[in-house]
Structure 1
Amino acid sequence: MRFIQKAVDAFRPLADPSHRSIPVGLRPARRQWTFDLAPLTGESALSGICPVCGKRAKFDEFTDNPRESGRCSNCQSFNRQRQMAHAIRKQCGLPKAGPLRFPEGFVIYNTETTASLHLQLLQTPGYLCSEYFGDEYEPGQMVDGRRHEDLRHLSFEDNSIDLVLSSDVMEHMPDPYAAHLEILRVLKRGGRHIFTVPFGPSMQEDQIRAKLVDGDIVYLEEKAFHGDPVRPNEGVLVWTIFGLAMFGRLRELGFDVKGWNIFAPNEGVVGPWSLVFDARKPIDQ
């Protein structure tokens, strides 16, 4: 239970008055947190500075799934991508506006090779990106011009990467904590893994929806699939929905971990649970 309490304590507000944070497991106050997203279209669309492209923009076409909607009029980023970019700018000390620019020698590894955040980072020196194409490929192998990596067996050297980015990736593997441990290995001391996952703020334990038994998938819950940019006609299985126990597991691995519930309409980030997690490798590790 001490890890559950630490998880509740881990949610901290970001240093901007437009952001609010609440303890995990509590429902947000309705007047502060509940948005009727239907009017946020056309002339009533949100406007401000997009944290992905750093330009003034409108954020339009929100749906009843706010995490995956609300396109930026410039870079076409949607809400979840802007949550990630917002956290990157805050945690890396970058300005709110302008391109995503990092210090010389700063190494970023992104676990996807598509979408707006990837496109904004492409010109960054030291930028690495990959997809997972299947167990038949070796980590680091190029497949149709893109790098293949298995997050459980990365090809990168120890202490070689400053920032790892993953957005709704960890739920799509049978052992996500093996992947977290491998990310910890490749991060430099003081480096961080900024990520999003499906998360139940009122859930104490992770919900294991499927597991591997002697090489076969055993389904513990109804099958669920998310869209897969690499295989758009297939989808990718959801193995885990994460709960408060995730904080304890990551701390046991050696991370310092926090979660942010971001509320920044002037950056196109809305919805009741705009959650981004920051797992940092301690400097003395």
Structure 2
Amino acid sequence: MGIVERALRKLRLAVPGWHRRHAPRTAAADSLEQSPVAEPVEEGLVLSGVCPVCGMNARFTGFTDNPRESGRCSNCQSFNRQRQMAYLIRQQCGLSQGGSWHFPSGLVIYNTETTGALHLQLNGLPGYVCSEYFGDEYRSGEMVDGRRHEDLQALSFADNSLDLVMSSDVMEHMPEPYAAHAEIFRVLKPGGRHIFTVPYNPLLVEDQVRAKIVDGEIVYLEEKAFHGDPVRPDEGVLVWTIFGLSMLARLRSLGFEATEWDLDESTHGIVGPGALIFEARKPPSA
């Protein structure tokens, strides 16, 4: 273990609420030689296996130097990050990684987006609810052009009403992400989960706050950065925060049991550095 790895390990041990897990490896995954997560993914890589998004046998192609956002499924066109979400949701809900989606009766799922390969697979299932954020001029729960509007910092759902909340690279796009996490804690049933991805840098002890609101105005602390936004494709959406090691401690302070999952599942199209996904679970006794 090198100097950097030892330092990071000490930092992680010092952060309350830090849990890091490797997902259980499938027999198919064990039969293949796996590349270490720290190794870059080779451009032009082609993988075969079962896509956890569509549940079908597939080829995963088109990986780029940003493997997290590339590597399309030959069936549903999901990319790496979407498969990370699907893999952990299936695993934590006790579902097979293959086949169609069948959740237990009565399970209520809230997805914070209304587009993408995973949404298309889940849309129409009993108990599935989805939304977008359309702007401050709307109230949470209001319908806008046929889609539900929700501000994660002020959700319209009742206390203890949701079993699963899923968000993929959403929490960085709001000025008060931990207010949103607190709202998610409120609306989750005891034992419910928030499974999510965010831009995350394990070399940061504290979150990098890139912008904040002061006296009603946005103050930029770092160079402006925007991500693509299906609701506003011409504008993009501002990145307010890059998260660091302290995120799990902040989640624990809100009452969550927080876990970082480090996935390496090439037979499910999940490879490369940054294959990290997070789970914030509301304790059953909460």
Please give the TM-score of this superposition, normalised by the length of structure 1. Answer: 0.91
Q: Deviations over 1:55-113 (max 9, x none)?
A: 00010111111111111000000000000001101111100110121000000000000
Structure 1 residues 7 and 34, CA gap change in structure 2 (3 angstroms): farther
The residue type equivalent to 1:159 in the other structure is N
The residue type equivalent to 1:253 in the other structure is L
Give the structure 1 partner of residue 104 of structure 2.
103
Distance in 2, Cα, partners of 1:222 & 1:37: 30
Unaligned runs of 5+ in 1: 20-28
User: Which residues in structure 2 correspond to 1:13-32 (within 5 Å)?
Assistant: 13-16=22-25, 18=29
Give the structure 1 partner of residue 43 of structure 2.
38
Q: Deviations over 1:5-61 (max 9, x none)?
A: 346851012222549xxxxxxxxx985641442131xxxx11100000000001011
Give the structure 2 partner of residue 76 of structure 1.
77
Structure 1 residues 247 and 4, CA gap change in structure 2 (3 angstroms): farther
The residue type equivalent to 2:43 in the other structure is A
**Matched length:** 272
Describe the SS at the equivalent of 2:184: helix
Give the structure 1 partner of residue 141 of structure 2.
140
Give the structure 2 partner of residue 236 of structure 1.
237
Question: 8 Å contact 2:167–2:195 — kept in the other structure?
Answer: yes
Unaligned runs of 5+ in 2: 1-9
The residue type equivalent to 1:14 in the other structure is A
Describe the SS at the equivalent of 1:217: strand
Question: 8 Å contact 1:52–1:120 — kept in the other structure?
Answer: yes
Q: Deviations over 1:193-231 (max 9, x none)?
A: 000000001110000000000110000000000000101
Distance in 1, Cα, partners of 2:37 & 2:189: 38
User: Which residues in structure 2 correspond to 1:113-192 (within 5 Å)?
Assistant: 113-192=114-193
Distance in 2, Cα, partners of 1:121 & 1:205: 35
Q: Deviations over 1:135-186 (max 9, x none)?
A: 1001100000000000011111100000000000000000000000000000
Question: 8 Å contact 1:83–1:276 — kept in the other structure?
Answer: yes
Describe the SS at the equivalent of 1:162: strand
Question: 8 Å contact 2:141–2:156 — kept in the other structure?
Answer: yes
Please give the TM-score of this superposition, normalised by the length of structure 2. Answer: 0.91
RMSD: 1.8
Describe the SS at the equivalent of 1:198: coil
Structure 1 residues 4 and 229, CA gap change in structure 2 (3 angstroms): farther
